[in-house]
Amino acid sequence: MVKVLASDDDYLEGKVIQMLLERERPIVTEFCYTRSGRTAVEIARTMKPDIAFLDVQMPGLDGIATVEQLKLLNPNIKIAMISAHSDSEYILKTMKAGASDYILKPARPQEIIRVFDKLIKSDAIGDSGLLIARIRELIQNILSGQRSEALRILDLLWQEVIISTDQDNEKLRIRTRGLATYLINSISDRHHSPEILILLHNSMIRSINSAPVHADFKGYLIELIDTCLQLLDQYANDAGHELISQAHSYIQKNLQRNITLEDVARHIHLSTFYFSRLFKDKTGVNYIDYLIQLRLEKAKLLLLTTNDSVAVVAKKVGYSETNSFSRLFKSRLGISPSEYRAKNKSPNVIGN
C-alpha cells in the first residue's frame, strides 16, 4: 500500500497526477490533494504519506518550507517538487531541503510515472549498497535468460531484505511490491508490448496486496521472474511483435493525422492484407477499433488536462469534423465530450 499526497495550487496538475497514478499504478491505495502547503502538512500528520508531489510556489507555506515540515514529520518520506523554474540553483535549494526529484511544468504524464517509479524503487531497495548491487545483478541475469543464476541471486537478495525489514510481514509486502515494480520496469526496454507489461504489473501488485499476512512473498518474485523470462523469450523469437511495436509507435506519433491502414502497413514495409491479419492476430482487435480507442483515450486526457475547446481536442486526435467526433465519443462513452469534461473536472479539493 502506497499513500500519495499532492499539493499544488494548479488544480489541473493535481488532477493529472491523481488520474495517472490511480490508473497506471494500483499500488497507490490512498491519494490526497490539497492546494496549499500548510494544509498539506496538516494532512500529513494523520495520513502519513509515503510519497509527496509538491509545487514550489504555493500560497502561505511555499514548497521548500513544506518539504522541511514534511521531513520533520517523517524523515523517510520521498518528495518530488513540481515547478516552472529550471534554474539550477533553485533546484539545488529544493534538494537541500529534502526533495528527492524535480519535475518541470507542465508535467508530462510519462515524467510523472518515471519519477513515481524512481521514488518507489529507492524505497524498495533501501540505502544498502549491497541490496542495490544484488538487484542489478538479478536484472542482468533475467535479461540474459539465466534462470538458475537469477534465482540464486534472488536467494541472496531476499536474505538482505529479511534483515532490512526485521522480518516484519507488512514491510516485506511493501518491499515485494517495490521490487516487482522495479523488475517489470527493467525489462520494458527489451519488450515490445507495453500493454502486456502494464497488465502483468497490475495483476502482480493486486496479488501481493490481497495476499494473507504470512504469505510467501518471495514466491511472488519467483513467479514474476519466470513470467519475465517467458515474455522475453517469446518476444525475442517473434518478429511479428516487433513489427506491431513499430506500428503502435507510428500510430501514436501520428494520431492527429488521417492515418489509414495502408499508411501504417507502408511504414513497416508490409502488404496491407498481411498487416491487417498480423495486427488482429497479435493485438486481438482490428486496426480501426484500435485507432478509435487510442484517439478517445487521448481525447479524454486532453479534456481533463487542458482548456482546449472540443473542436481543438477533436483536431488533436485526428478528427477534422467536431460533430463527427462528438457523436463517436458519445456512442462509445455514453456522454458527450463536454459532459465528460464537466463531470470529471469537478474539483474535489481539500484546503485553499
Hey, how many other C-beta atoms are within 10 angstroms of the C-beta on 122? 16
- The rounded distance, in Å, linking the Cα atoms of 352 and 136 is 44
From residue 326, alpha-carbon distances to 312, 334, 337 in Å are 12, 11, 6
Residues 175 and 228 in one domain: yes
The tens digit of pLDDT for each residue in 225-250 reads: 998 888 777 665 566 777 787 888 88
CATH of the domain at 90: 3.40.50.2300
pTM of the predicted structure, to 2 decimals: 0.42
Higher pLDDT among residues 284 and 132, named by residue: 284
pLDDT value at position 352? 37
pLDDT value at position 275? 84
The tens digit of pLDDT for each residue in 120-151 reads: 766 554 444 556 667 778 888 888 888 999 99
- The rounded distance, in Å, linking the Cα atoms of 203 and 246 is 26
* β pairing state of 78-83 and 101-104: parallel
- The rounded distance, in Å, linking the Cα atoms of 238 and 115 is 32
- Helices and strands of the chain, counted as H and E runs: 17, 5
Q: Which of 108, 137, 164 is the last residue of a domain?
A: 108
Mean pLDDT over 311-323 rounds to 92
Asked whether residue 121 is assigned to any structural domain, the reply reads no
> Can you read off the three cell numbers belonging to residue 73?
514529520
The boundaries of the domain holding residue 91 are 2-108
- The rounded distance, in Å, linking the Cα atoms of 307 and 322 is 16
DSSP 268-287: TT--HHHHHHHHHHHHSS-H
Band of residue 212 on the pLDDT scale cut at 50, 70, 90: confident
Residues 159 and 255 in one domain: no
pLDDT value at position 229? 85
Q: What is the DSSP letter of 153?
A: H
Residues 244 and 188 in one domain: no
Band of residue 88 on the pLDDT scale cut at 50, 70, 90: low
Q: Is 36 helix (H, G, I), strand (E, B) or coil?
A: coil
Hey, how many other C-beta atoms are within 10 angstroms of the C-beta on 36? 22
pLDDT value at position 189? 53
Asked whether residue 351 is assigned to any structural domain, the reply reads no
Q: Which of 79, 108, 137 is the last residue of a domain?
A: 108
Residues 166 and 208 in one domain: yes
Mean pLDDT over 45-52 rounds to 91
Q: With beta carbons less than 8 A apart as the criterion, state whether 122 and 78 touch.
A: yes
pLDDT value at position 4? 93
Residues 212 and 269 in one domain: no
Asked whether residue 230 is assigned to any structural domain, the reply reads yes
Q: What angle is formed at CA 182 by the lines to CA 177 and CA 185, rounded to 5 degrees?
A: 125
Asked whether residue 138 is assigned to any structural domain, the reply reads yes
Asked whether residue 188 is assigned to any structural domain, the reply reads yes
